[in-house]
Structure 1
Amino acid sequence: MIQSAQEAVKQRFTAKKVLHIVLKIIAAFIIFVLLFIATVFTVNKISSYSEQKRTEPYGQLVPVDGKQMNVFIQGEGEETIVLLPGYGTAAPGLDFKPLVSELSPNYKVVVVEPFGYGLSDQTSKERTTANIVSEIHEALQSLRIDRYILIAHSISGLYSLDYVNQYPNEVSAYIGLDSSVATLREQKITSSDTKPVKWFRDLGFARIQLKLTADAYEGLPYDEQTKEQINILMRKNMYNSTQLNEAVSMYANYDAAEQQNFPASLPVLFFLQANHPVTDQWIPEHEQQIKDSLQSEIVLLDADHYLYRSHAEEIAEKIRDFTGELN
């Protein structure tokens, strides 16, 4: 009886000891996690401050809706080309550099950085197609650019569909660079979906994510200085509030685009990746977009979605041929 009581006491003591050790481990783990988060946050703040001072301006700022929009211009050709970026492109003016270099000997090339992109301001205005189109047009009007060939990559193709219908007397031709199609929409994102992304961004973990991501520019025709500036702006603009709002607005923007078509008289040229990694409808749906066009063409490239980075020379040559036939 006494022995059983002693064993019970011993077992309770052992259990308390184990519980104490477990609690210490849990506490140590929590402290470690908090210290790790604090370190990531601090490093991100210090690095962001340092990078802000190392950012090199390019292009020019123009007034749009009471804010500043950055526009990069190169070349002095008689014809003007306006370039619009795909979703999330950190620094369009630099990202389009290979294509701009190939086009600028023959055209005046204008790269518009919408709000939330590159060196442009952010905005709290909803990222509806109507607002984005209006802002881009206001930027061009500020520069007195009123006749041009519109070239759009990815999601800007969706906005451009509205743009060419809004300003048919200004756009002389449309060229899509693996541009989005309304019938092949992205997954719906709500504002609640973006809340954890904002925490992820504000705590500095986006910087770690970029560190662990493969260099998208490796082996491509970008000099080291340009790549450094792109990386700085990538860390600055990744998951910013304007771009997150655009992601939330995207589903409705796809809905709106389903009701629109390219004007039959507008010349349209598509550059598409020949082998889309997700859908086999990429090429057929683009063909459907131009079925009523009087002058249209599709060029397939053995490239990924950012085909202008790797095939700038080929794209520029075809653009010269295509636009030359318009004169």
Structure 2
Amino acid sequence: MRVTQTEEIKTRNGAKSKKVRSILLKIIGAILLAIVIFLGIVYTVNVISNHSEQKRLESYGQHVAVDGKNMNVLIQGRGEETVVLLPGLGTAAPALDFKPLIEELSPFYKVVVVEPFGYGLSDLTEKERTTENIVSEIHDALQGLNIERYILMGHSISGIYGLDYVNKYENEVSAFVGLDSSVPTISERKIESSEIDTVKLLKKSGLSRLVMKLGTDPLATLPYDDKTKEQMRILMHKNMYNPNLLNEVEHMYSNFKAAESMTFPKNLPVIFFIQANHPVTDRWVPEHEAQVKNSVHGKVMRFEADHYIHRTKAQEIVENFRAFMKEIK
């Protein structure tokens, strides 16, 4: 049987199509293999780096037992009055991050930095990261240290926890100081569980470390010595996206909502040190002013600074804070 010209063309075209498909499949296979190898390398490097960093991690502060676990606390200075420092959300090493402020405060006050569970060198906890639990744990830590009277100074989200704290333990807190602290009326958005799952994957795979490595070093221009920066980086990798932090993020929206009806006790001295120009909202200054409008001793001070105001304006904060405390006595 003779093969027609049309059939020959079809045969040739079919062979070419098979060849093209074969090449495409090989290319796709090679790409997938490259991705698998790349992810394997990223994962392995992350595991090795974590192990190496733990050996270089240096302890600081002391442990205090809370709910059968260890909460890390740094105490510095011997002043008659005590200042308790509370960190912002996700601050990997609060006692190191607050170093510029501690150095300015410690000549005049006994300074106590509390690292909540999941922060710094503190243990992880299985308890939900609700405001109620976080506040109770911080209070238990201070009780364990026999600290009965103190000034509460909180950064960022500790403005929310601090608001609850001063209402529950009004007889213990002599003043509240907000360091660009959060206000309930400027609420954070609700984080979906799918977003949390994605972040967990980034952490477990080691991709979060890679992203940090390729990005700009957030500590490069800050007023810390090289050794402190190295320890802060180690703790950033250790604590970033840990279970307690992610659970705290999940509860963030409800924690803000629960604080909306709260106000500072009228007779409690309250002073806020905040950034003058918030990058996202123009309500930052007026909402802080609204928080102290009914306070017998309330004040808002603005600085040309970013959210981590205590890193670059420590001296100014302490000078104005001391002047404020002298005025109300």
Q: Determine if the TM-score, normalized by the shorter chain, exceeds 0.5.
A: yes
Matched letter for residue 296 of structure 1: G
Which position in structure 2 is the counterpart of 1:64?
Answer: 66
Task: Give a deviation string over 1:190-230, Cα, whole Å, max 9, x none.
Answer: 33321111111001111012112322222322000000000
SS of equivalent to 2:174:
strand
Which position in structure 1 is the counterpart of 2:319?
Answer: 317
Which position in structure 2 is the counterpart of 1:53?
Answer: 55
Task: Give a deviation string over 1:238-277, Cα, whole Å, max 9, x none.
Answer: 1111000000001110111001100000000000100000
Task: Give a deviation string over 1:271-292, Cα, whole Å, max 9, x none.
Answer: 0100000000001111111111
Counterpart CA distance in 2 for 1:168 and 1:236 is 35
Deviant stretches of 4+, over 4 Å: none
Which position in structure 2 is the counterpart of 1:255?
Answer: 257
Task: Give a deviation string over 1:68-117, Cα, whole Å, max 9, x none.
Answer: 10001110000000000000001000000000001100000000000010
Matched letter for residue 142 of structure 1: G
Which position in structure 1 is the counterpart of 2:28?
Answer: 26
Which position in structure 1 is the counterpart of 2:192?
Answer: 190
1:231 deviates by 0.2
Counterpart CA distance in 1 for 2:155 and 2:268 is 18
206-215 or 149-158, larger mean C-alpha shift: 206-215
Counterpart CA distance in 2 for 1:322 and 1:12 is 86
1:319 deviates by 1.4
- Percent same amino acid among aligned pairs? 59
Counterpart CA distance in 2 for 1:119 and 1:191 is 27
SS of equivalent to 2:222:
coil
- TM-score calculated relative to the size of structure 2: 0.98
Question: Which residue of 112, 115, 130 maps to 2:114?
Answer: 112
Q: 1:97-108 maps to which residues of 2 (within 5 A)?
A: 97-108=99-110
1:36 deviates by 0.7
Which position in structure 1 is the counterpart of 2:202?
Answer: 200
Which position in structure 2 is the counterpart of 1:41?
Answer: 43
- TM-score calculated relative to the size of structure 1: 0.98
Counterpart CA distance in 1 for 2:187 and 2:216 is 26
CA contact (8 A) 2:297 2:328 kept: no
Matched letter for residue 141 of structure 1: Q
Counterpart CA distance in 2 for 1:21 and 1:176 is 63
CA contact (8 A) 2:265 2:295 kept: yes
Counterpart CA distance in 2 for 1:37 and 1:93 is 34
Counterpart CA distance in 2 for 1:124 and 1:69 is 14
SS of equivalent to 1:325:
helix
Counterpart CA distance in 2 for 1:205 and 1:69 is 29
Counterpart CA distance in 1 for 2:123 and 2:138 is 13
Counterpart CA distance in 1 for 2:212 and 2:112 is 29
Question: Which residue of 223, 226, 229 maps to 2:228?
Answer: 226
1:174 maps to 2:197: no
Question: Which residue of 129, 132, 135 maps to 1:130?
Answer: 132
Task: Give a deviation string over 1:166-186, Cα, whole Å, max 9, x none.
Answer: 000110000000000101011
Question: Which residue of 290, 293, 297 maps to 2:292?
Answer: 290
SS of equivalent to 1:39:
helix
CA RMSD of aligned residues (A): 0.9
What count of residue pairs does the alignment treat as equivalent? 327
1:272 maps to 2:274: yes
1:5 deviates by 1.2
